[in-house]
Chains A and B, each alone.
Chain A
Amino acid sequence: MTIPKERHVLVIFPHPDDEAFGVSGTITTHIQQGTPVTYACLTLGEMGRNLGNPPFATRESLPAIRKKELLASAEAMGLTDLRMMGLRDKTLEFEDDEKMVRMMEELIEETNPSLIITFYPDFAVHPDHEATARAVVRAVRRMEDRPKLHCVAFANNTLDVLGQPDIVYDIKDVREHKMNSMKAHISQTAWMLEEMEHKLQNGDTETENWLTLERFYTYRWDQDFE
């Protein structure tokens, strides 16, 4: 599938590095096609567990490190409109739900996107992913003229329930950008990248696919999550 030109793409995820694994190739392609892309990252991943042993960071020094990494990832993708929304990692589901929806509505009103990318509610694994997905879906549901809503799903039961993703983009032309976006988040991705290199060297096709394809589910309004 080729990636169509959009009016504006709005990407909403809770953690620095959420964009890297699932959508950095798609973001890069949109930018290279001249589509403006806004990435709203709700937290700085303050509660990340990878602090090293021996430690390279503390609970208190991690946010500044991850902020720098997020900026580096944006640069790797060519992204210029990065919004850091100032919430705290692992607390999103405990925020006032309506406040979360309003935050999404304001982003949508301002950027007027033709496409929004976020997680798929109930298939997003991490509580912050789920809270983000719920808020985005609720905000879009209330719109009269809804933009396209493409969702990333990776819960273990995704294939059983949702089936195959309806949107599969070949991003191998921007593979290096994707790799650089993932490498930008080195404090959190080092062990994963090491494992990935090992698998690639052994000709693991799943890992190769993961680097060259990005998959989305169009949100199913007829099977709304609530």
Chain B
Amino acid sequence: MQLQFERVTKSFGDLKVIDTFDTTIRDGEIVALVGPSGCGKSTLLHMVAGLQSATGGQVKADGRSVERPAPERTLVFQEHALYPWMTLRQNVALALEFQGRPAGEAHKQAVQWLARVKLDGFEDYYPHQVSGGMRQRCALARAFIARPKVLLLDEPFGALDALTRLTLQSVLKDLIEEERPTVVLVTHDVDEALYLADRVLVFSHRPARVLEEFTLGHIPKTHDLSAFAGIRREVLSLLGIDTQAQETERQTEKGDVQ
């Protein structure tokens, strides 16, 4: 599914959050939105999901204006989006049950999807009984089970420790390769963007506009991102982090950027 942002602006009262965003995301493309905290990246994602509307301009999915949420455009939240009163299996099955599929079939598929994210054996655990990484695996299964055409990820691994984050990035990458949805990823983590995305858009502080666009292309990648050291340096420098000297000093100043 192709996504088009046509002169999209967003304000909350007098506060201008997004300053004219224009881009087209091709079917099956993986795009990462990187930028400082509170710059409106998540707002863009919520617009594609149909949870928020643009103040000006419009967001289109396959040429049709997005007006409300639909299961074909699904969103993975940062955390706490699983329902604590449901087991992992019930959480994943719910995505199908909401689409009117019979409970039996939904639960059968949920078990299969939990196995695909390596959560077999944990089907009947409640979210608070498993680790944060396992919860996000489950959230991925819940997103993918509906076979979305657009997958929106809102800092999906932001709350995880560094090592778990790398593992989950690989899990996500494999799922994307197998299912081939169009992906929009919002992240603070430049390495995560470089590892997962075909194209990286770097945003400015509020009101957000695109500072620079980096096209990496859809190529096989590992967590060894040394081939992209140049791009990485440029992105970090756009985010105000000097990679040459006095790195620690600058970093504490702009502590909101990783």
Q: Do A and B come from one complex?
A: no
